[in-house]
Structure 1
Amino acid sequence: MESWSSSKIAAAYYYKYMYKEPCMTSPQTGEAWMNEVLNGHHIRSVNAFRMHSHVFLKLCGELESRHGLKSSDRMTVVEKVGIFVYTLALGVSNRDVSERFQRSGETISRAFHEVLEAITARSKGFHGLAREMIKPKDPTFQETPAKIMNDNRYMPYFKVFRYFFAFYIL
């Protein structure tokens, strides 16, 4: 009787903590879906990524060649960027992206943050895409644009900022 209950406990433990039933079982992988969308009708790419496939592929090339984004053993740069852009373009959750790309939530999150790092370059030795592409016309911020200056919704914040900035420089 005692061995029966201990084997029952062992079986319960095994099924609860060790046995992992596959969840992502769709035959269409994320890479296959990406190839289908990028090589299919041009509207599919616009619907999924809010850009044409040639623009998407150029973005992938830029992030890989100039901003340090690398393919891994199991995921290409194109799929990583696809995960990132799909998430932002459609505003979908990690679970939805996991289902679309047939990857775990952890893998989706890791890929998303790798692309985000390539764009922002907060901790790498690369210049991020954002720093290269988004540059203020006046890097010293000496002039406030007329659109802000003449709008009462924004100007109070810039008055404080300009005072702080002038104080900080002196």
Structure 2
Amino acid sequence: TGLGENHYAMETMIRERDPSRPIHYEDHLDRNGPERKPSRFDIISDMYASPEDMKEYHEDDPARPVIICEYVHAMGNSVGGLQDYWDVIYAHPRMQGAFVWDWVDQGLAKYTESGEKYWAYGGDFGDYPNDGSFCLNGLVYPNRRTSSAIQEIKKSTSTSILKRPTFRMVKSM
């Protein structure tokens, strides 16, 4: 939505009413001005930042946590390469995580003339124009079964981290 005086007014009002609550806004740097200046918000956040960008955010501002509010879109076969992100998150203590778009498909149950059920979306209701391919794009199908992409998320975000052990030769007597 862009960052401007309304956001700063909301930030001021929130801090006056309840200074204990952290304030998050996705655009962590004021990019509207002639130079990039640090935000007044409490959390560094961005959308679709690269792992390299995430490292830079972490290093440039040692006082605030980093949350990537959207880092991958679960559309089609796009949920891959997540391990690079999670390696950065696990390696830096102020990295708080990242969010996937979308969790669940927005399809609605509809039936063919012969009574067969299917998940209807974008254009199936005579709604033209529309974003036809942007509706069935979640990690979970409309019936709440998980897609195969959920396995990549599960592996990448696993809290069990196994590192290759170091072996050394010991002379046996």
Please state which band the TM-score falls in when normalised by the shorter chain: under 0.3
TM-score with structure 2 setting the length: 0.24
Task: Tell me: higher relative CO, structure 1 or 2? Use CA pairs within 8 A at least 6 residues apart.
Answer: 1
- TM-score (normalizing by structure 1): 0.25
Higher helix share: 1
Work out which of the two has the higher radius of gyration on C-alpha atoms and give 1 or 2: 1
